[in-house]
Chains A and B, each alone.
Chain A
Amino acid sequence: MQKLLIQVGSVTYAMKAKSVLQRHGLHASVIKTANPKKNEGCGYSVSVENPQVNVAALLQRENIDILGTKWAT
């Protein structure tokens, strides 16, 4: 199953993103991330399983800045 990793600025935004995605029926979890952006150090991401909707748009509507996204298996 493919997972979309959404990199955000902090654990607070990761928790907020998880909450928003769960409200939309998506299975999301918070994971610690080495570098949200290159050379920035620790950060957090939200992992979403096989999203069928535009996750970025959902999060941006809730004022969550997305630092980057990538797919993982």
Chain B
Amino acid sequence: MTFNIASFLVQVAALAVVLAALHKPLGVYLVRVFEGKMSSRPERLFYRLAGIDAGTEQTWSVYLRSVLAFSVVSILLVFVLQRLQGILPGSGSLPGVDPWIAMNTAISFVTNTNWQTYAPETTIGIFVQMTLLAVQNFLSAAVGIVVVVTLIRGIARTRTQRLGNFWVDLARTSFRILLPIAFVASLLMVLGGVVQNFWPADVVNHAAGISQTIPGGPVASQEAIKELGTNGGGYFNANSAHPFENPNPFISLFEVFLLLLIPSALPYAFGRIVGDQKQGYTVAAVMGTLWLASVSLMGWAVASGQGTATAAAGGLGEGFEQRFGPVQGAIFAASTTLTSTGAVNTAHDSLPPLAGGVAMVNMMLGEVAPGGTGSGLYGMLILSIISVFIAGLMVGRTPEYLGKKIGPTEMKLAAMYILVTPVLVLALAGITVMLPDIITNAPATGPHQFSEVLYAFTSGANNNGSAFGGITTSSPYLSVMMSLAMLLGRFLPVALVLALAGSLARQGKIPASAGTVPTHGPLFGGLLVGVTVILTALSYFPALALGPLAEGLLK
């Protein structure tokens, strides 16, 4: 398979143009949803059903407790019902899910990671897919969005403790943003060939003497939210490489578009809510620059076709689907790891070493270009605060961001935020490679074995969910370690972001002065790109050197 540069440029340009055209109308719509006060009749009915007092706003700590209560209850319910699968309807003859796998899966879907330590076809049936996993696809994406909305409110509001109502925000985000887009997207997917039924089909090719059972299931409805919510958990084991999840190149490009859609519109909503559109444009430009750079780097690394087996085969092919080829593989691989999606249309484990390395770096950047639904923007806002602080040090002024003083409290929260994932990734991967457990579960040899472990924990702690699939994480030890990475990698940052929102909202607005570092424009944008890249490089370079760099450069 050859890498067609024209095809690459056409698709990257098409994505950039369409997303640029849609980010404003969608951003305006997002603001209307977040800032709206009126509830529709069905929403009021829903609030009554759920027992929510929609009129009250919460402080940051109550908001956080609501996030945590909701997530804990979700994890428990998803876990228990997976265990009971054997007696639930619509599960075929599948038994209850193994407890370690069920725990890992429950945590994985509630944290928006969608790491899949199970093979769906042989582990979970329609009931679990449809009423548990697909529902968490919506809600975990919505949680990410409401958390960033709360941070934006914290920046925009002054002298208040009130930051919104988690339950109302969650319902509005799920029903007014995610549900309608997912519905339209899933119909387009059905038209393109993604299945949506509830039964398998037995087919017999008499001439060739082949009988098959063609699987069925509510795939399109799950596929749409899987991309839109930057979740990534496939209905099938092969994920978006499976012909029923991703039947042709049009749908593949559409899936990349869907997973970038909301994250790329959120900066516009941010600018609008804080009342300074230039802020939103700067953040969007930084995200776009990093996306473009990373996609290009991925294209180059894939096109290089490095690897002894690849050379022996006479070119790329292993792990690629013929209908997509290396161009769509590269664009998908870069975009899925730059967001927190983790869906794959190509087996990442078989990518050339440096391409696998680019995928890891994308996640290590903190998935901020444009990032997961909500989590990408809050990551980028934290990095903005760090950048303001660094710029403030240079000019010797107390740093401020959008009229809010960045004091010791704010800096501690921001610094802890950027330390959480590197610590989790490096500590857990480091401990794991020293244990004998890994030799049987990651059967690769040399630097590639370390890459598989590093990729797994990078993916887990950043809530991505893509994998170097050669590793098996269903053993009790690895299941627990990955669960820890996913849980802490999701909820520690969320807690820090909400605390930051609370701390910023309490302040009054200080007027900009001559010493204020402007947080828009190319200068600040460049600083933000630099800070993002340097922080990542400082944290991860040694680990990368042992894995993908060693494999890619020493040949």
Pair from one complex? no
